[in-house]
Amino acid sequence: MSKIKKEQWHLNTAEVARSAIASCMGGRRKAARSRALDIRSKEYTLRHIPTGIEVSGTIPSGNYARKEMNRLGEQLLQNLFQELEAKVAKKLRIPGCVRSCQLAT
């Protein structure tokens, strides 16, 4: 008999709600000045709707340009999604996934 490889389980992105809270404290009065002078921070929360499991993370306050803030936000969202996927797999007791998901994080 041939061995059938099972696909590794992944969390469905349609079952995940995402929310964000951003703050900006700036001393610039004219739009011509750089955005990097403002102090910005952002907090993301991902929630798996069927189970109610939530994970959250924060980009610390600092002077960020728009591209840098977007890059940090995407990195944080990827890490949070992996963390949420591992927690959901553990909660749902998906065989073989709990160990591999823990090793990935």
Provide the domain count of the chain: 1
DSSP 38: S
Whether the predicted pLDDT of 13 surpasses 60? yes
Q: What pTM was estimated for this model as a whole?
A: 0.78
DSSP string, 46-63: EEETTT--EEEEEEEEE-
Is 7 domain-assigned? no
Backbone angles phi, psi at 101, to 5 degrees: -70, -35
Element (H, E) at 7: none
51 falls within a domain? yes
Q: What is the mean pLDDT of residues 34-53?
A: 89
pLDDT attached to residue 37: 74
Q: Indicate if the pLDDT at residue 25 is higher than 70.
A: yes
19 in a structural domain = yes
Cα angle at 75 between 20 and 22, to 5 degrees? 25
Backbone CA torsion sign across 33, 37, 38, 43:
positive
The confidence score (pLDDT) of residue 38 equals: 82
